[in-house]
């Protein structure tokens, strides 16, 4: 799901032409993340700390508005390379931004060798200025890795590979923080579309009035404030995958547009004159019960069936046997550079509590708690208190009668052995069993004891 290289590149395309050379960049070892909007770029920068960013814009002022310019000016530790059409080289505001914020620029279409060489230089420059990727920021290879060894996750990995190989929509369901977005990315990166953009849209966080133009784009003058043509996120994902997160929040009046897109593979920009053919695979996710939403009339049934051709269900963390510990240790290593020096790992009590905790926020919560504990911990090992887990939120331990008996038996034997200095004859007399029986029990419970009288015990 990721390359060995840790050379990350943000491809920010605010123009209304498709991105170029993404495949070649990937072949050259770049981990390329594409986006068409400022929020998406900010997320990618947060998550991957790219050393190099390519910005493609056109001569229109809208593709270089204030938020975009802010991105170029204020993001730290990124070398920017611009891609622009020849005809905008003469424009003053473009010259100014490019000369002040950019490492270099190429005109479209770029000569492949030259652009790759520039990206290499930009990377070298970034390393020189801010140090190697591995020292300092969070960037690490394996950023997108899905970790898990539980039977539920092994099952999921198998299904993930199966759905990746076909082109049908996938509906990913599961509680918040279970890794739905990560799964969507994994599908994309294992699909034939891996070299094309992966565009994520959170349908719940877009303002209602804007969602249509965000998804489908708009033409210049389509509404007040639409001073430029804007390509929507579906179009920005052309050739690749669009991930519609929190699809249950998509307003009902837009559901019909999405349905049309799924059926006909065409979109229409707001204020646009006609249908545009777009080849994009749709992945959708939700943490709500869509079937209930359909029953309530909040979600179109036809759209539900269209989206739910293939289904992946992300298991809740509390149900994944063994994964809590595996993930906790994985994130401990991942954030090792942030921890206090003395902290070496988790105490048995902390691990025990984590295993019993119900993790309502799933993996996202686990990451936050582990990360915080690593900073707060004052001892060598992280304690339950460092994790801030309330014992009341833990599953009550279910203990079988057999286990209870075993624990009591073990305790009694341990006491008798200790009291009698590991003398089997004395201890067995006190416990009222034969020496042979006592010896067997010691083996059964794997009790440590000094085998002084062992030879005559058997």
Binding site for ligand ADP (CB under 6 A): 146-148, 174, 176-182, 363-364, 367
19/40 with CB nearer Mg ion? 40
For Mg ion, the binding residues in 6-25 under the rule CB under 5 A are none
CB 122, min distance to Mg ion, A: 31
Per-residue DSSP letters for 2-62? --S---EEEEEE-SSS---SHHHHHHTT-EEEEESSHHHHHHHHHHH--SEEEEE--SSGG
CB 180, min distance to Mg ion, A: 5
Partner that binds at residue 147, options ligand ADP, Mg ion, none, CB closer than 5 to 8 Å by kind:
ligand ADP
* Nearest residue (beta carbon) to Mg ion: 181
Per-residue DSSP letters for 145-207? PPP--SHHHHHHHHHHHHHHTS-S-EEEE-STTSSHHHHHHHHHHTSTTTTS-EEEEETTTS-
* Nearest residue (beta carbon) to ligand ADP: 179
CB 143, min distance to ligand ADP, A: 8
- Largest CA-CA distance found in the chain, in angstroms, rounded: 100
Partner that binds at residue 178, options Mg ion, ligand ADP, none, CB closer than 5 to 8 Å by kind:
ligand ADP
Q: What are the strands, taking DSSP E only, across 339-388?
A: 345-346, 381-382
Q: Are 234 and 267 in contact (CB under 8 A)?
A: yes
247/427 with CB nearer Mg ion? 247
Q: Are 199 and 242 in contact (CB under 8 A)?
A: yes
**Position 365 contacts Mg ion (CB under 5 A):** no
CB 246, min distance to ligand ADP, A: 9
363/442 with CB nearer ligand ADP? 363
For residue 244, which of 165, 147, 254 has the smallest C-alpha distance? 254
60/178 with CB nearer ligand ADP? 178
118/178 with CB nearer ligand ADP? 178
Q: Are 278 and 138 in contact (CB under 8 A)?
A: no
CB 48, min distance to ligand ADP, A: 11
Per-residue mark of binding to Mg ion, 169-208 (x: CB under 5 A): ------------x---------------------------
Structure tokens at 182: 């990560």
Partner that binds at residue 364, options ligand ADP, Mg ion, none, CB closer than 5 to 8 Å by kind:
ligand ADP
88/312 with CB nearer Mg ion? 312
What does each C-alpha distance from 31 to 144, 324, 392 come to in angstroms? 11, 29, 43
CB 342, min distance to ligand ADP, A: 26
Question: Crossing angle for the helix pair 38-48 and 66-74, nearest 10 degrees?
Answer: 20
CB 433, min distance to ligand ADP, A: 49
Cβ neighbours for 62, distance < 8 A, ≥ 6 positions apart: 227, 228, 229, 230
Partner that binds at residue 179, options Mg ion, ligand ADP, none, CB closer than 5 to 8 Å by kind:
ligand ADP
214/386 with CB nearer Mg ion? 214
CB 416, min distance to ligand ADP, A: 46
Q: Are 233 and 276 in contact (CB under 8 A)?
A: no
Residues that bind Mg ion in the complex, under the rule CB under 5 A: 181
């Amino acid at each position: 799901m990721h390359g060995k290289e840790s050379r990350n590149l943000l491809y920010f395309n605010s123009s209304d032409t498709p991105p170029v050379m993404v495949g070649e960049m990937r072949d050259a070892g770049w981990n390329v993340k594409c986006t068409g909007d400022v929020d998406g770029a900010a997320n990618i920068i947060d998550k991957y700390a790219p050393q190099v960013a390519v910005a493609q814009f056109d001569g229109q002022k809208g593709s270089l508005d204030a938020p975009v310019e802010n991105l170029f000016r204020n993001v730290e530790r990124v070398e920017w390379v611009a891609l622009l059409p020849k005809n905008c080289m003469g424009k003053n505001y473009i010259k100014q931004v490019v000369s002040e914020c950019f490492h270099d620029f190429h005109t479209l279409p770029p000569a492949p060798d030259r652009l790759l060489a520039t990206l290499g230089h930009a990377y070298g420059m970034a390393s020189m200025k801010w140090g190697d990727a591995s020292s300092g920021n969070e960037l690490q290879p394996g950023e997108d890795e899905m970790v898990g060894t539980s039977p539920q996750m092994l099952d999921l990995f198998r299904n993930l590979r199966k759905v990746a190989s076909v082109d049908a929509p996938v509906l990913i369901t599961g509680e918040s923080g279970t890794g739905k977005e990560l799964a969507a990315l994994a599908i994309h990166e294992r699909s034939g579309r891996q070299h094309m953009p992966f565009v994520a849209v959170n349908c719940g966080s877009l303002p209602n009035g804007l969602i249509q133009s965000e998804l489908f784009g708009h033409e210049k003058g389509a509404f007040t404030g639409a001073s430029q043509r804007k390509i929507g996120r579906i179009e920005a994902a052309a050739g690749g995958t669009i991930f519609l997160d929190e699809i249950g929040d998509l307003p009902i009046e837009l559901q019909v547009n999405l349905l049309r897109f799924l059926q006909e593979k065409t979109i229409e920009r707001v204020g646009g004159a006609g249908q545009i053919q777009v080849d994009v695979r749709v992945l959708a996710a939700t943490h709500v019960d869509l079937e209930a939403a359909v029953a309530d009339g909040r979600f179109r049934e036809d759209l539900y069936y269209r989206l739910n051709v293939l289904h992946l269900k992300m298991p809740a963390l509390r149900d994944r046997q063994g994964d809590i510990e595996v993930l906790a240790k994985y994130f401990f290593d991942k954030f090792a550079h942030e921890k206090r020096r003395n902290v070496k790992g988790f105490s048995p009590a902390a691990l025990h509590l984590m295993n019993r905790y119900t993790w309502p926020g799933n993996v996202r919560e686990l990451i936050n708690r582990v990360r915080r504990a690593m900073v707060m911990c004052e001892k060598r090992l992280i304690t339950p208190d460092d994790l801030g887990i309330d014992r009341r939120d833990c599953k009550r331990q279910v203990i079988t009668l057999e286990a209870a008996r075993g624990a009591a038996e073990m305790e009694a034997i341990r006491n008798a052995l200790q009291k009698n200095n590991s003398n089997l004859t004395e201890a067995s007399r006190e416990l009222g069993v034969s020496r042979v029986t006592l010896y067997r029990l010691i083996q059964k419970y794997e009790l440590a004891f000094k085998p002084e009288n062992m030879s005559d015990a058997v």
